[in-house]
Amino acid sequence: MTTNHDIRFAIDPVSASTMNTEELREQFLIDDLFVAGAVNWTYTHYDRMAVGGAVPAGKALGLDTIKPTGTANFLDRRELIAVNIGAAGTIAVDGTDYAVGSRDMLYVGMGSKDVRFSGEGAKFYLLSAPAHASHKTTLIRQSDAKRLDLGSNETANERSIFQFVNADSVKTCQLVVGLTSFAPGSVWNTMPAHIHDRRMEAYLYFDLKPDAFVVHLMGEPDETRHLIVRNEEAVISPPWSIHSGAGTGAYTFIWAMAGDNVDYTDVDKIGMDELL
Classify residue 275: in a domain, yes or no: no
pLDDT value for 55: 98
Classify residue 23: in a domain, yes or no: yes
pLDDT confidence bin for 165, thresholds 50/70/90: confident
Is 178's pLDDT higher than 90? Answer: yes
pLDDT value for 11: 97
Is 120's pLDDT higher than 80? Answer: yes
What CATH number has the domain bearing residue 66? 2.60.120.10
Percent of the chain residues past pLDDT 90, beyond the cut:
92
Classify residue 128: in a domain, yes or no: yes
For the full predicted model, state whether its pTM sits above 0.95: yes
Torsion angle of alpha carbons 132, 163, 234, 80, nearest 10°?
30
Contact predicate 181/252, CB 8 Å = yes
Best CA proximity match to 11, nearest among 46, 51, 62: 46
pLDDT confidence bin for 262, thresholds 50/70/90: confident
Determine the 3-state secondary structure of 141 from DSSP: coil
CA distance 180 to 83: 13
Is 126's pLDDT higher than 80? Answer: yes
Is 119's pLDDT higher than 90? Answer: yes
H/E run at residue 138: strand 138-140
Contact predicate 122/100, CB 8 Å = yes
pLDDT confidence bin for 266, thresholds 50/70/90: confident
β-bridge pairing 89-93 and 146-150: unpaired
pLDDT confidence bin for 167, thresholds 50/70/90: low
Q: What is the pLDDT of residues 22-32, one digit of tens each?
A: 999 999 999 99
CA distance 208 to 191: 20
pLDDT value for 53: 98
Classify residue 90: in a domain, yes or no: yes
pLDDT value for 261: 85
pLDDT value for 117: 98
Lowest mean pLDDT among 35-39, 69-73, 99-103, 143-147: 143-147
Classify residue 265: in a domain, yes or no: yes
pLDDT value for 39: 98
**Full residue range of the structural domain in which residue 212 is found:** 2-269
Classify the C-alpha dihedral 110-93-55-182 as positive or negative: negative
pLDDT value for 192: 92
Burial class (CB in 10 A: 0-12, 13-18, 19+), 246: middle
Is 202's pLDDT higher than 70? Answer: yes
Classify residue 274: in a domain, yes or no: no
Percent of the chain residues past pLDDT 70, beyond the cut:
99
Q: What is the pLDDT of residues 180-189, one digit of tens each?
A: 999 999 999 9
Classify residue 210: in a domain, yes or no: yes
Classify residue 276: in a domain, yes or no: no
Is 169's pLDDT higher than 80? Answer: no
pLDDT value for 264: 78
Determine the 3-state secondary structure of 26 from DSSP: helix
Domain count, the chain: 1
Per the prediction, the chain carries an average pLDDT of: 95
